[in-house]
Structure 1
Amino acid sequence: MHLRFSLRQIEYFVAVGEAGSIALASERIHISSPSISAAISQLEQQFGIQLFVRQHAQGLTLTPGGRRFLQEAKILLEKAEHLHDVASDITESVKGPLSIGCLVTMAPYVMGRLRKSFEGDYPEVWVTQHIDNQANLLSKISRAEVDAALTYDLDIPQDIRFDPLAKLPPYVMLSHDHPLADRKTINIEELVDHPMVMLDLPLSRDYFLSLFHQTGLRPLIGETATDMGVMRSMVANGFGYGLANLRPQNEMSPEGLALKHVPLEGDYRPVVIGIATMRTDYTSAVMNAFMEHCHTSFRNNNFFGAQIATD
């Protein structure tokens, strides 16, 4: 039996199987709906099976055979992508796809500069990026949706490897007219009577609360924000102080108001920025190049005034 199908058709099928509709798959992979529909029909004819049940109101539902076919199709695509790595190793060149995740709070300060310099050094690598919170990034690594993620060393599972890049101690963010703005350092006991603008993101929230809890204190949370820029704006406009680890190059809020960044006094655990990847015995040439590039970039650039991680 001579099978006549393309990896492109398999990619379209997987996209529809994961999305649940041709229209949504079309938006995600930027391919027209008629092209996707034709590819699926050709696969069904070629293999002689029905992959989907067409439901007018609810889109497409995988048949039992379609679900099994989807599992094998994903494996086929993974093996096909692996051929890029094999080719790179054979030719000793760095080329092929690379999918990188980045923590949502870190991305505005790191991703653009890091990606531009990496693609400049390795023009035959095409990068896709995924910006998300810590929990979702770790899940995407486990599901092989991203090859690596720039993130924190918080709640890293055993099956994920974490390669540290830099340590980020906590600091206090204040408006220019805050009563504590003229201090050289601030003790956490001095903060409990002042309202706090909490950065309310998974894991980050727990980390900042732990700074108080380890000394038996509780912060006075006046406002919350799920975006670093919003938190900086609220602090600059006098809604309270903020705690953060990522320190931008300038001391201004998004709308141009002055901010003060004051070190937090005491022996508090810094968060560590690093590269999270699946724990495997094989690392592709593209991934090795990206990891080396990250280490070099963090050594040579003053990202957030970060300390280089040496342990």
Structure 2
Amino acid sequence: MPLRFTLRQLEYFVAVGEAGSIAKAAEQVNVSPPSISASIAQLETEFGVQLFVRKHSHGLSLTAGGRIFLKEAARLLNDADALHDVAGDFAEKVRGPLAVGCLLTFAQIVLPALRMRFERAYPDVRVRQFERNQGQLLEMLQRGEIDLALTYDLELSQDMTC
């Protein structure tokens, strides 16, 4: 029997799994919380597993199965992004994933308008945003978890440029 889920549902699941809450994930992927909740419920129904433990007013925690599912969903999304890259090479179009990190202190001020303009100009680029402190952003850059960081140019190592 064919599976009936979308990459978008997996993207929402991964965002919630990483953020620990539907509200935070909704901000990151720019989608309403009810849409994310519905996507997660559909995934749980499709696969017949509980992915999260819901904690009243304390967000969500991944179940043991949810942690495994998260790892595989992230891998699948990366594989799908690789297909976009291959297609982009042939089409000579700007497309694929773009992971953007931004300082917590100004993310809500800077990112919404910037992201909206960028996504309008490049609709085939899938933007994921991460809001962290300076140290975390620099570590994420060094580990290759994000493609770029919007931050102050303080405490940058020599291998990073502005």
Q: Same fold (TM over 0.5)?
A: yes
Shift of 1:136: 3.7
Check if 1:15 corresponds to 2:12. no
Shift of 1:46: 0.6
Shift of 1:130: 7.5
Give the 5 Å matches for 1:3-152: 3-91=3-91, 93-97=92-96, 99=98, 126=125, 135-148=135-148
> Within 1, Cα distance between the matches of 2:20 and 2:99?
25
TM-score if structure 2 supplies the norm length?
A: 0.69
Unmatched 5+ residue regions in structure 2?
104-113
> Within 2, Cα distance between the matches of 1:101 and 1:9?
20
AA partner of residue 93 (structure 2): V
Shift of 1:148: 4.8
Contact 2:44–2:51, Cα closer than 8 Å, also in 1: yes
Unmatched 5+ residue regions in structure 1?
105-114, 152-198, 205-270, 276-311
> Within 1, Cα distance between the matches of 2:161 and 2:62?
39
AA partner of residue 82 (structure 1): A
* Deviations 1:54-100 (CA, angstroms, capped at 9, x unpaired): 11131211000000100111111111111121012233x13204637
Q: Which moved more, 1:122-131 or 1:10-19?
A: 122-131
Contact 1:102–1:137, Cα closer than 8 Å, also in 2: yes
Shift of 1:144: 4.0
What is the identity percentage for the equivalent residue pairs of Structure 1 and Structure 2? 51
Q: Which runs of 4+ in 1 moved over 6 A?
A: 129-134
TM-score if structure 1 supplies the norm length?
A: 0.39
Contact 1:134–1:203, Cα closer than 8 Å, also in 2: no
Q: Which has the larger radius of gyration?
A: 1
Contact 1:141–1:147, Cα closer than 8 Å, also in 2: yes
> Within 1, Cα distance between the matches of 2:102 and 2:90?
33
Contact 1:98–1:147, Cα closer than 8 Å, also in 2: no
Contact 1:101–1:132, Cα closer than 8 Å, also in 2: no
C-alpha RMSD of the superposition: 3.8
AA partner of residue 99 (structure 1): L
* Deviations 1:11-39 (CA, angstroms, capped at 9, x unpaired): 11111111111122112222111111111
> Within 1, Cα distance between the matches of 2:46 and 2:131?
38
Give the 5 Å matches for 1:151-230: 201-203=154-156
Residue of structure 2 in register with 1:248 after alignment:
none
Shift of 1:126: 4.3
Contact 2:96–2:124, Cα closer than 8 Å, also in 1: yes
Q: Which moved more, 1:12-21 or 1:142-151?
A: 142-151
Secondary structure at the residue paired with 1:53? strand
The 1:94–1:39 alpha-carbon spacing in structure 2 relative to 1, beyond 3 Å, is same
